[in-house]
Structure 1
Amino acid sequence: MMNLIIWNCRGALKPSLKSHVQDLFIDDDPTILIIMETHIGGDRAKEIFDTLPFQGAIHTDTVGYAGGLWFLWNPDRVEVTNLASTEQEIHALVKVRSSNLSWIFTAIYGSPRHRERCMLWENLYVVANIHNLSWIIAGDFNELMSNDDKFGGRPVNLSRALSFKECMDACNMADLEFQGPRFTWSNGHSVSSLIQEMLERFFANPDWCMLYPEAQVSHLTRCFSKHCPVLLDLHPQSNFRLEKPFKFQSF
């Protein structure tokens, strides 16, 4: 079994972060955990992720108190080499110790600002053109691909959605299918003003899909944050996943 989880925690200084990461660790045993929108960087970030159940860590700088991206892993299971990073992305080479397979994992926290997201798309174009390895891209892109990715609020900006889709197409990426609720973020309001969006995704190129043809994405129960954790199980035991006990979420 090998699991990867991406999660926008909306601030890693919250006292209960450690217990929620511990719950993810116990329930789903992730080999790699990507934590997004941590709001902290530098030595303060290291102080916090040193208390979490992962011995390997890469983190990006925040822009003031905005952003923040952590790439955490278990060195007993994978060897991770940091290839490059910016405030919005971490590119790492992952070598799986049990199988000796290697692939690139790009972790994303897309800027809320459109202009900076355009810089991210350009960076991904560059990465796509300098390697031919198995590759996955995952994270909170802060962008939608179609009107189906949103409930409530303003309509999706189709021009921006097209730019996002064109970038993934140029990188030869497929959007991995998922189980669970469609939307990964909610504003938590009542139905009259409820807005929900699918912001977190896993993408993979054909070479990566050939390595893990049964890989399955699941949207997990939302807790602690308005974003739900998203799990990628590389070796699911079956297509059936036991549902966890229902928990009422309040925001």
Structure 2
Amino acid sequence: MNVEIMNCSNGHINAWVTNEEGSERWMLTGFYGQPNSSLRVESWQLLASMKPSERVGWCVMGDFNEVLTHDEKSRGKQSQEKQMVRFREALEDGGLFDLGWRDDNYTWSNNHGDDTLTKERLDRAVANLRWKEMFKEAWVEVLVARCSDHRSLLLSMNQEPAKVWRGKRLFRYEAKWSLMDDCEEVIKRAWQVRATKRASGRGLQSLLENSKGALMQWSKRIEHDRRRDLKEKTELLKKLQGNEGWHNSEEIKKVQNEIGVCLEMEDLKWSQRAKVD
């Protein structure tokens, strides 16, 4: 698919999404509702202003900062009926229908470790009839909240994943390696050669090749371990958040912090590669 950004503001991002053949195009809106309830009517006005013609598929995803019904909130102060009515009217005026969810319906938590713990379904995906006709098998999965108080949404449209060509892997020293204790030891072992080879130019080239090979093997192993560790921690977090309450809030925060360390390493890797590319 090809994505072309149309316009944006503090409360939205609009984009055209076109399939690879160029035969179908639909509109995707990333949306953020006003957190201040007294200003939320501005968000609904913004949503109304972006409505395309009925012939254009339109999907809106994001944090609407409002619930549709009382059962979309657990504990805490009860949501005001007039605020929910305005939200329902905004969706109705836009011809938008809730796409539902899989797994836990709550997408936000205040993470309190006592009986003031509150959970709400603030994030959702909605779409018009044209979009639902285009993607009849679409569904929304509520993912775990790895490092945020909000849980991400994954929209699946039952599309076959595109085949990605993978060329020969180039060697680049990863900045994240310097944060790992083992990296220095790997290089030291690669440079441990007999004294008779130290002075030769060929010996130096050989040392560099040895270092590259050792780092690539080590990197492959730790990357495998990191992915396995991240997967296990994410599955654990999913179970914990599925039964979230004051009794396990501290454990949830602990696992989120551990996942955050893993993701920071990943961010550093892609940040470095973006500069190179």
Q: TM-score range by the shorter chain?
A: 0.5 to 0.7
Could you say what secondary structure the match of 1:203 adopts? strand
Aligned partners of 2:69 and 2:49: how far apart in 1? 25
2:90 to 160, 167, 185: 167
**1:246 corresponds to 2:236:** yes
Asked whether the 8 Å contact 1:149–1:198 carries over to 2, the reply is yes
What does the per-residue CA deviation read over 1:50-87, in whole Å, with 9 as the maximum and x for residues that have no partner?
xxxxxxxxxxxxxxxxxxxxxxxxxxx313141x3221
Q: Paired residue for 1:197?
A: 120
Task: Report the CA distance between 1:198 and its aligned residue.
Answer: 0.5
Could you say what secondary structure the match of 1:245 adopts? helix
What is the aligned-residue RMSD (CA, Å)? 2.3
**1:79 corresponds to 2:9:** no
Letter paired with 1:165 = R
Letter paired with 1:116 = L
Task: Report the CA distance between 1:229 and its aligned residue.
Answer: 0.9
2:30 to 103, 107, 111: 107
1:156 to 60, 73, 79: 79
Letter paired with 1:157 = Q
Any residues of structure 2 matched to 1:210-229 within 5 Å, and which? 210-229=133-152
Aligned partners of 1:94 and 1:116: how far apart in 2? 30
Distance 1:131 1:206, change over 3 A: closer
Unmatched 5+ stretches in structure 2: 161-231, 238-250, 255-277
Aligned residues: 170
Asked whether the 8 Å contact 1:216–1:236 carries over to 2, the reply is no
Aligned partners of 1:225 and 1:81: how far apart in 2? 26
Q: Paired residue for 2:167?
A: none
Could you say what secondary structure the match of 1:182 adopts? coil
Greater strand share, 1 or 2? 1
Unmatched 5+ stretches in structure 1: 1-76, 238-242
Asked whether the 8 Å contact 1:222–1:249 carries over to 2, the reply is no
Distance 1:188 1:170, change over 3 A: same
Could you say what secondary structure the match of 1:154 adopts? coil
Task: Report the CA distance between 1:131 and its aligned residue.
Answer: 6.2
Could you say what secondary structure the match of 2:150 adopts? coil
How high is the TM-score relative to the length of structure 2? 0.57
What does the per-residue CA deviation read over 1:65-122, in whole Å, with 9 as the maximum and x for residues that have no partner?
xxxxxxxxxxxx313141x322111222211225632101111111212243211211
Could you say what secondary structure the match of 1:179 adopts? coil
**1:209 corresponds to 2:199:** no
How high is the TM-score relative to the length of structure 1? 0.62
Aligned partners of 2:132 and 2:100: how far apart in 1? 12
Could you say what secondary structure the match of 2:130 adopts? helix
Aligned partners of 2:149 and 2:14: how far apart in 1? 26
Compare relative contact order (CA 8 Å, sep 6+) and give the higher one, 1 or 2: 1
Task: Report the CA distance between 1:221 and its aligned residue.
Answer: 1.3
Aligned partners of 2:38 and 2:10: how far apart in 1? 14
Any residues of structure 2 matched to 1:22-33 within 5 Å, and which? none
Letter paired with 1:97 = E
Task: Report the CA distance between 1:161 and its aligned residue.
Answer: 0.7
Letter paired with 1:95 = T
Task: Report the CA distance between 1:225 and its aligned residue.
Answer: 0.6
Asked whether the 8 Å contact 1:215–1:236 carries over to 2, the reply is no
Aligned partners of 1:193 and 1:79: how far apart in 2? 42
Distance 1:130 1:212, change over 3 A: closer
Aligned partners of 1:180 and 1:107: how far apart in 2? 22
Question: Which moved further from structure 2: 190-199 or 222-231?
Answer: 190-199
Task: Report the CA distance between 1:177 and its aligned residue.
Answer: 1.5
Identity of aligned residues (%): 27
Task: Report the CA distance between 1:150 and its aligned residue.
Answer: 0.5
Greater helix share, 1 or 2? 2
Any residues of structure 2 matched to 1:123-142 within 5 Å, and which? 123-128=46-51, 132-142=55-65
